[in-house]
Amino acid sequence: MLAGHGGVFALTLLLILTTTVLFFVFDCPFLARHLTLAIPIIAAILFFFVMSCLLQTSFTDPGILPRATVCEAAALEKQIDNTGSSTYRPPPRTREVMINGQVVKLKYCFTCKMFRPPRTSHCSVCDNCVERFDHHCPWVGNCVGKRNYRFFYAFILSLSFLTAFIFACVVTHLTLRELPAPVPCGSLTAPLTVLELVICFFSIWSILGLSGFHTYLVASNLTTNEDIKGSWSNKRGGEASVNPYSHKSVITNCCAVLCGPLPPSLIDRRGFVQSDTVLPSPVRSDEPACGAKPDASMVGSHP
């Protein structure tokens, strides 16, 4: 989590917290007194929901697949290269499986030493294979995948509502201040209120666009990675193929993506790394075989 993008995640928190705090300090008292007390209540509910979804997105395992152990990698390579030839050949990069009558290719990951399950991709930032990989989002500091996509979607959707709500309330505040006999306010109220308006104005368009795009993805049971690559369309110039993961119904697709059971994490956060689970450099001829104990003369011979 937060692999290499801790600063961008902190910027996300700072923007949300700054805008919301300014709104509660300089706008909510005026609007609650002259309009309705429901305004700060609604803003507080939206703010806590946004922060909850953001933290869950950032600190939830997105669906990282553990890398193959030395024994598992050796067994897979032996299974692939069953010709008995002594010359080195790299393993084939793909395998084909059938999913709902559609041929899906599984790519071999040379870093994790395994064939990636369907819809899995290797994140170059996190350096992990992630199930149902959508994209790596620097704003949340984490990959978005099978286990945290629903939190990410709820975050951008609720952030859209919060930003639009604050923007509308700030415009209302500034409009009411220009009416005859305005209520006296502090000297810093107007400049800081305008600052909120500027932040919300330049943020709301990208957030609303992102929410609309991911709503389309949810309704189609697609990922950002699949949509950009054109996995099930003719974006690459080839023939369009049918998305095998779509249930042909918008409601069913939404339920499958957002309401299905959350799979357990495959990461043992409290476990200890064993010596035979670390992927070393290519095995040398003088190193012991998988599972064999090293000879006494070999101890300390390698750095």
Q: What is the pLDDT of residues 236-285, one digit of tens each?
A: 555 557 888 888 889 999 999 999 888 898 887 777 766 554 444 444 44
With bands split at pLDDT 50, 70 and 90, how would you rate the model's confidence at 208? very high
Of 137, 143, 169, 200, catalytic: 137
Q: What is the Cα–Cα distance from 84 to 294, expressed in whole angstroms? A: 26
Give the residue from 276, 32, 4 showing the smallest Cα distance to 176. Answer: 32
With bands split at pLDDT 50, 70 and 90, how would you rate the model's confidence at 27? confident
Strand order in the sheet with 114-115: 94-99, 102-109, 114-115
CA atoms within 13 A on the CB side of 172: 16
Q: Bigger pLDDT: 285 or 99?
A: 99
Q: By mean pLDDT, which of 115-129, 143-157, 275-289 is the weakest?
A: 275-289
Q: What is the Cα–Cα distance from 195 to 190, expressed in whole angstroms? A: 9
- Find all residues with CB under 8 Å of 55, minimum gap 6, and list them: none
Q: What is the DSSP letter of 246?
A: -
- The answer to whether the Cα torsion of 193, 194, 195, 199 is positive or negative is positive
Whether residue 137 lies in the annotated active site: yes
Q: Looking at residues 176-203, what average pLDDT do you find?
A: 68
Residues in the chain: 303
Q: What is the Cα–Cα distance from 166 to 209, expressed in whole angstroms? A: 18
The rounded percent of the chain whose pLDDT value lies above 90 is: 33
Q: What is the DSSP letter of 241?
A: -
- Residues 142 and 153 sit within 8 Å (Cβ to Cβ): no
Predicted pLDDT of residue 269: 74
Instruction: Supply the pTM of this predicted model.
Output: 0.80
- The answer to whether the Cα torsion of 87, 93, 98, 103 is positive or negative is negative
Residue 144 has pLDDT above 80, yes or no: yes
Q: 259 phi and psi, to 5 degrees? A: -115, 0
User: β-pairing, 121-123 with 142-144?
Assistant: unpaired
Predicted pLDDT of residue 87: 52
Predicted pLDDT of residue 302: 40
